[in-house]
Homo-oligomer: A and B are copies of this chain.
Amino acid sequence: MKRIAVFTSGGDAPGMNAAIRAVVRNGVAHGLEVIGIRNGYQGMIEGDFVPLGPRDVANILQRGGTILLTARSKDFMSPEGRAKAAENLKKAQIDGVIAIGGNGTYAGAAKLIEEHHIPVVGAPGTIDNDLYGTDYTIGFDTAVNTALEAIDRIRDTAASHSRVFFIEVMGRHAGFIALEVGIAGGAEVIVIPEIPTDAKTCAEVINKSAEKGKRSSIVVVAEGGYEGGAEQLEKDVRQYSGFEGRVSVLGHIQRGGSPTAKDRVLASRLGAAAVEALISGASGVAVGEVNDEIRLTPFKEAIEQRKEINQKKFELAKVLAL
């Protein structure tokens, strides 16, 4: 193995740059050349390659986003697109690839291996934390802290006005962000896809909170936790509670920002580990960190298995909202 490539794909996540830096520096430390592919799979198809040395990744550790850019590629969905991508990789004499992204990224990589026998190792870069095979994904801790900061601000206003706030955080299929932010933000109710909550129950909790003397309540809703999101939940709750809530959809701010220490360290470890996995001959696997140890998980498993939320934490949240 002489030359490897690295790219980011799917939604950007804070820490992707730290992972790129670790891939490049650990690659070079192992005597490899490293090529960056810009714009994810689309750049692979278009041959948008750029050599990366240790100095090229200087001063990016603390930056949000991804210097290699990212894009969703329709072309890569077709066998022809993938063939073109593989051709470019081979022309550039790339012996192995590191793919930083989420489920879709892994699925694409699996196809590339299957059809074109190019070794690929994945690294989990997504704020949603919904990837099996790693305790945390790169970007999750930062997204949680960003959402938390927003909730802390909203609480000032909620408390000053005696209001109920419905705050929507990211998580279409998984409630990891909502659960963590809900506990850390002292939410009265947490609504996540894994554990359905109806508007009536939600209204009851809020009304009970008011009876207990709380001047304001906060409901944290994962995007996919309620049909129609926080906006709809507020409307439905109003029917049972008699009061009007305020809605705040945090949205895109959760993706950006300088990564937290935890995300930088995780990304650094996983980026470095991906290089070592490739060198050792691994392919079709994603690196992850489980109980502070590096673990490799086959793409198939990483994609198909569902990472479970911690039920005890969900129960704890209720007690803490006493």
Contact = CB atoms under 8 A, between A and B. Distances in A.
Given A255-B153, A261-B141, A319-B272, A61 B313 contact: no
B322 A152 contact: no
A65 B319 contact: no
Given A160-B12, A162-B69, A262 B264 contact: no
A141 B160 CA distance: 19
A1 interface: no
A61 to B, nearest CB: 5
Given A152-B257, A320-B272, A69 B135 contact: no
Contacts of A292: 135, 291, 310
Nearest to A16: B160
A213 B55 contact: yes
- Which of A22, A146, A258, A320 has the most chain B CB atoms inside 10 A of its CB? A320
A58 B261 contact: no
Contact of A12 (B58, B157, B185, B265): B157
A31 interface: no
A181 to B, nearest CB: 7
Stoichiometry, copies per complex: 4
A38 to B, nearest CB: 11
Given A154-B253, A157-B65, A141 B262 contact: yes
A62 interface: yes
Contacts of A92: none
Interface stretch (A103-111, A243-251, A299-307): A243-251
A70 B215 CA distance: 12
A261 B22 contact: no
Contacts of A181: 261
B186 A61 contact: yes
A317 to B, nearest CB: 8
A82 interface: no
B160 A29 contact: no
A150 interface: yes
Given A70-B161, A159-B59, A162-B69, A153 B64 contact: yes
Interface string A132-171: 0001000001001110101011111101111001000000
A260 interface: yes
A156 B12 contact: yes
Contacts of A8: 160
Given A59-B159, A71-B161, 10 more contacts: A25-B321, A54-B322, A135-B292, A141-B261, A148-B264, A152-B258, A154-B252, A156-B257, A269-B313, A292-B310
Interface of A: 8, 12, 14, 21-22, 25-26, 28-29, 54-55, 58-59, 61-66, 69-71, 135, 141, 144-146, 148, 150, 152-157, 159-162, 165, 180-181, 183-186, 212-215, 246, 248-253, 255-258, 260-262, 264-265, 268-269, 272, 291-292, 310, 313, 316, 319-322
11 contacts: A63-B156, A69-B161, A141-B261, A152-B257, A156-B257, A157-B256, A180-B265, A184-B264, A260-B260, A272-B316, A291-B291
